[in-house]
Structure 1
Amino acid sequence: MPDTTPPGPPPGPRDPGDAWAVGPDGTKAWGLFGAAGLLVDDGAGRVLLQHRVEWSHHGGTWGIPGGARHQGEDAVTGALRESAEEAGVPHDGVDLRHTALLDLGFWTYTTVVGRASRPFEPVIADRESIALSWIPVDDVDDLPLHPGFGRSWPALRASITTTPHIVVDAANVVGSVPDGWWKDRAGAAARLLSSVTALAASGVPADLLALPFARWWPRWTVVLEGAARGASADGTDVSGPVEVVQAPGSGDDAIVSAAQSAVDAGDGPVVVITADRGLRARVEAIGAVVHGPSWLRDQT
């Protein structure tokens, strides 16, 4: 959502990113290294919006907290920083969901979409806001919206409840590579958990999930069985979007149960990672999509 007028001068030293980006036709957009903003919902049908101060570009309209990215700063970090600076969004208070990218060639705007991981109230922390409010999703269209946000809102709204969920058949994935895993099944499972945890933090390209936008942060369930039960992720904290299931008996039954629970919870798409043909038929029957172990290995 291009903003062609910079905000007022910030306190303290300016970052090199706080400058104009100029296109080949002379079009200007604020943010030498691009810009980013955060659209966060509270999980109860409301999104956090900013009523823009009158002196700003499209002043008086409603949009999302955001601004120019700093030099060397990725879009997610920039969006979280800007939302903290402008709206008091806690750094540890948002679970990432997906990113949407507007690319003008010479300049980009990334909308980072997240869900509040715990309740918080926004706080006006700078001069760029008249108000900050949790707005019911059904009421957003009734507001005078910033033109850029207004154009992106229908697609963003359509995906606001989309929650991809990936279920990993750890035994099958580990066993797909002849690297000596059979000598230390728990150690091989621990390495897989570390890889999944890293992928859960970095996200998955949208096209791999047959979803719109740029990148998604799914929920993950990794099912361990047999000698691999009790494996830990090489000292990595396995938490947040990664759940580890210790199958008490059949690993296949635990995978089907995990996929069914995800479907019943309204998650989707539900993706199961396995090359087991029998298991594939069982999870496809409940609506899951199946990819082989190489799908996961290629991302880690």
Structure 2
Amino acid sequence: MTIQPPAPGEPRRPLGPRDPGDAWVVAPTGERYWGRFGAAGLLALDPARGVLLQHRVSWSHFGDTWALPGGARHEHESARAAALREAAEEAGVPDAAIAPRFVSVLDLDVWTYTTLVGDVVTPFEPVISDPESHALAWVPVGEVDDLPLHPGFANSWAALRSLLAVRPAIVVDVANVMGSVPDGWWKDRAGAAARVIARLEALDAGGVDAAALGLPATAWYPEIVAVVEGAARGVADATGAVRVVRAEASGDDAIVAETVSLVAAGRTVTVVTSDRGLAERVSAAGATVRGAAWGQDLF
């Protein structure tokens, strides 16, 4: 891999403060890719309006095409952070308006492009906030192919579109998971439950490996439900992406009820438990079951 300035006649980036990542990567075969540390973009999906696309200005790389707001990653910046930052800089996308769902990575060895797919949870109007856009528009999913697309986006769109209906969820039998490790959990059940939930919250930062969930793409940010029962009900509410459910009676019954509700809402549900009876009940409800050891390895 080499880093070079644009070739004669090749579009240049706008002037302004530069990050070390703002440079062209040149592959051994001569292809040029923007972003010394790779690049990332956001596919924001609004259930009522479609996906947010950027009509690129003519001087940009593959100008006058439609693509996702995105750009070069900064040094030491995660792809997720880069996608949200670039979307804010180029389209005025509020960070809090997006709930990440999954990432898909194109890895060319010398360069990577990461697409962050996120659901719009707070509607907003995009704003052209830098000189790289002719226009910004919400485009219905079924009309995206009608536009002249950036070649990179065009190559990935079919696979991304096929995943827009996939919404994974993980329901955790906290009592079963914490009981699988003899670390003195019985002395303080609420404290042990809090440790499990803290590990679950950490999944929101890096996501869950797609292979672990049996799904395509690279990593997912599933809805996570932690069901607690008995003395563990005293655990504090989670501060992040984990929803804590306190079973009023049977923890198993609460887990089954959550599973039924999520499956009915179209979620792809994974239940983490090693309880055979519970596993049979949630399997019958349409969930995939993973044992407590799987959960311990995951979080």
Bin for the TM-score computed over the shorter chain: over 0.9
Correspondence for 1:244: 244
Task: Spell out, residue by residue over 1:7-37, the C-alpha distance to the aligned partner (whole angstroms, 9 max, x if none).
Answer: 52242x2111111112223322111111111
How far apart in 1 are the matches of 2:50 and 2:29?
39
State whether structure 2 residue 34 is matched by structure 1 residue 30. yes
SS of residue in 1 equivalent to 2:95: coil
Do the aligned partners of residues 6 and 98 (structure 1) sit closer, same or farther apart at CA in structure 2, a change above 3 Å counting?
farther
C-alpha deviation, 1:55, in angstroms: 1.4
How far apart in 2 are the matches of 1:297 and 1:22?
42
Correspondence for 2:213: 209
How far apart in 2 are the matches of 1:244 and 1:7?
50
How far apart in 2 are the matches of 1:77 and 1:109?
13
Report if the CA contact (8 A) 1:200-1:220 is conserved: no
C-alpha deviation, 1:56, in angstroms: 1.3
Correspondence for 2:259: 259
Report if the CA contact (8 A) 1:48-1:133 is conserved: yes
Correspondence for 2:18: 14
Correspondence for 2:167: 163
SS of residue in 1 equivalent to 2:62: coil
Report if the CA contact (8 A) 2:54-2:68 is conserved: yes
Correspondence for 1:297: 296
Correspondence for 1:124: 128
After superposition, the CA RMSD in angstroms is 1.4
How far apart in 1 are the matches of 2:296 and 2:47?
32
Correspondence for 2:273: 274
SS of residue in 1 equivalent to 2:152: helix
Number of residue pairs matched by the alignment: 291
State whether structure 2 residue 67 is matched by structure 1 residue 74. no
C-alpha deviation, 1:111, in angstroms: 0.7
SS of residue in 2 equivalent to 1:245: strand
Do the aligned partners of residues 178 and 17 (structure 1) sit closer, same or farther apart at CA in structure 2, a change above 3 Å counting?
same
State whether structure 2 residue 94 is matched by structure 1 residue 90. yes
Name the stretch that deviates more: 187-196 or 22-31: 22-31
Report if the CA contact (8 A) 2:11-2:59 is conserved: no
Correspondence for 1:286: 285
- AA partner of residue 74 (structure 1): S
Do the aligned partners of residues 7 and 85 (structure 1) sit closer, same or farther apart at CA in structure 2, a change above 3 Å counting?
farther
- Normalising to structure 2: TM-score of the pair? 0.94
- AA partner of residue 282 (structure 2): V
| Runs of 5+ consecutive residues of structure 1 not aligned to the other structure | none
C-alpha deviation, 1:293, in angstroms: 1.1
C-alpha deviation, 1:276, in angstroms: 0.2
Report if the CA contact (8 A) 1:36-1:110 is conserved: yes
Q: Which residue among 96, 106, 109 is the counterpart of 1:105?
A: 109
Do the aligned partners of residues 6 and 55 (structure 1) sit closer, same or farther apart at CA in structure 2, a change above 3 Å counting?
closer
SS of residue in 2 equivalent to 1:229: helix
Correspondence for 2:3: none
Task: Spell out, residue by residue over 1:42-75, the C-alpha distance to the aligned partner (whole angstroms, 9 max, x if none).
Answer: 1225000001111112211111001111111111
How far apart in 1 are the matches of 2:55 and 2:196?
45
- AA partner of residue 165 (structure 1): A
How far apart in 2 are the matches of 1:10 and 1:267?
45
Do the aligned partners of residues 92 and 123 (structure 1) sit closer, same or farther apart at CA in structure 2, a change above 3 Å counting?
same
Report if the CA contact (8 A) 1:193-1:232 is conserved: no
How far apart in 2 are the matches of 1:261 and 1:41?
23
Report if the CA contact (8 A) 1:223-1:255 is conserved: yes
| Runs of 5+ consecutive residues of structure 2 not aligned to the other structure | 1-5
C-alpha deviation, 1:299, in angstroms: 2.2
Do the aligned partners of residues 247 and 6 (structure 1) sit closer, same or farther apart at CA in structure 2, a change above 3 Å counting?
farther
User: What percent of counterpart residues are identical?
Assistant: 58
- AA partner of residue 237 (structure 1): T
Correspondence for 1:186: 190
